[in-house]
Amino acid sequence: MSEPQSVDASTQSVAAGERPQLYKYVLNGYALKLWKQLPIYQTRNEGSNHLPITFQHHKMAEKDASKIAIFATRHTLKNEALRLVREEMTAKAKKKLNNL
């Protein structure tokens, strides 16, 4: 049985200086607040069949998925907040115009 292949720096899933362990932690917090449950990670076998999938590969994939989910959630929440602010400002402006 062959040993798992090592991953060199050019194929690391998270950029240098980032703290990937925090992505899952933050995502878990969001999920518990928003949906009252933890996220469920599902794996699909894609790519080469001859490479062994190890526990480490799954962990890296979960961290990457967490990072993507956090940024998508933040983007969605920011857009929703901006929409609500615009609606509130529009409603206040209409009310002032009606009072003139």
pLDDT in tens, 32-76: 988 899 988 877 766 666 666 667 777 888 888 899 988 888 888
Q: How confident is the model at residue 7 (pLDDT cuts 50, 70, 90)?
A: very low
pLDDT at res. 16? 44
pLDDT at res. 36? 93
> Rounded CA gap, 67 and 69, in Å?
5
pLDDT at 21 over 90: no
> Rounded CA gap, 64 and 54, in Å?
16
**Structure pTM?**
0.54
> Rounded CA gap, 97 and 75, in Å?
33
More confident residue, 94 or 38: 38
pLDDT in tens, 70-89: 888 888 888 998 999 999 98
pLDDT at res. 41? 83
Q: What angle do CA 16, 17, 20 make, to 5 degrees?
A: 85
> Rounded CA gap, 28 and 38, in Å?
6
